[in-house]
Amino acid sequence: MSASAKLRALTPPAIAKAKGGTPIVCLTAYTTPVARLVDAHCDLVLVGDSVGMVLHGLPSTLGVTIDMMILHGKAARRGVSRALLVVDLPFGSYEEGPDQAFRNAARVMAETGCGAVKLEGGTAIAPTIAFLTLRGIPVMAHIGLTPQSVNAFGGYGVQGRGADGERIRRDAQAVAEAGAFAVVLEKVPESLAARITQDVAIPTIGIGASAACDGQILVVDDMLGAFADFRPKFVKRYAELGDAADRAIAAYAAEVRARKFPAAEHVFGDAPKEGAA
Ligand code: KIV
């Protein structure tokens, strides 16, 4: 399912069908220009609640609200024409039960135009996933390290090592049986990711879960080197935009202070010149 082969917008069933084929390529995006860049190369664009940490400077994803997700979902929608757009349901917007989840998921879908929502949790949240999917809301599940449960986990450590792997396997089976069209598998050992990928009928999308998964996702600012607050082991940096931006801003500041910018080519004369903006 390469970007060049795609002619029409991808749907949740199309993503589900891609299991076991060419790996499914996913990235986050929170703004129109970045969504446009990501859409050109990816199968799935996620407006993740990581937006809270990456763009809003929050210490975790717990402070992210439905209104924030809708604002960024709408922005990303304007940049996405071919990939499947998925929007995260933030902490506190779905855990009370199926009715609350449906109300908020329906609002997110109606106001952003996204094609699916993502929510965190395994066996405990499976009945909610079933309720949503039976009512026309496609759900991407998220298990393993679920950052909205950072306080319950006591940090952002690897999940499912040793005997704990059984818990994550049960989560994977539960969300697949509940009707999720794909499942994000975050920060679990490679052997567990391989086993789950083999066992479940839906695509596994790994983040810190090895190439054994059916697809991969990263936070776009992490892989571009634009978010420097911390760098998880599972992130590969494909660019150093943070360093490039720092150098550019330092050069601008130095030139303004030295009166080198603006130069003659940036200045307007009295007489209008043809073609000058
Ligand atoms: O919020 C997010 O960006 C995510 C991905 C990292 C999977 O959940």
Active site residues: 186
pLDDT at 3: 46
Low-confidence ranges of the chain (pLDDT < 50): 3-6
The predicted structure's pLDDT at residue 29: 98
Q: How far apart are CA 172 and CA 53, in angstroms?
A: 27
Report how far residue 27's alpha carbon sits from residue 274's, in angstroms, rounded to the nearest whole number. Answer: 43
Q: For residue 229, what pLDDT is reported?
A: 79
Residue 4: predicted pLDDT? 46
- Find the 49 Cα to ligand 1 centroid distance in Å: 6
**Residue 105: predicted pLDDT:** 98
- Burial (CB count within 10 angstroms: exposed 0-12, middle 13-18, buried 19+), residue 154: exposed
> What's the CA-to-centroid distance between 261 and ligand 1, angstroms?
40
Which one of 28, 55, 69, 150 would you pick to mutate in the ligand 1 pocket, going by the greatest count of ligand atoms within 8 A of its CB?
A: 28
Q: Give the separation between CA 79 and CA 174, rounded to whole angstroms.
A: 33
Q: Are 201 and 176 in contact (CB under 8 A)?
A: yes
Half-sphere exposure of 96 (CA within 13 A, CB side): 9
- Residue 6: the pLDDT is 44
> Quick check: CB of 128 below 6 Å from ligand 1?
no
- Cα 231 to middle of ligand 1, angstroms: 14
| For the CA of 218, the nearest atom of ligand 1 | 6
The answer to whether 203 and 215 have CB atoms below 8 angstroms apart is yes
List the residue whose alpha carbon is closest to atom 8 of ligand 1.
48
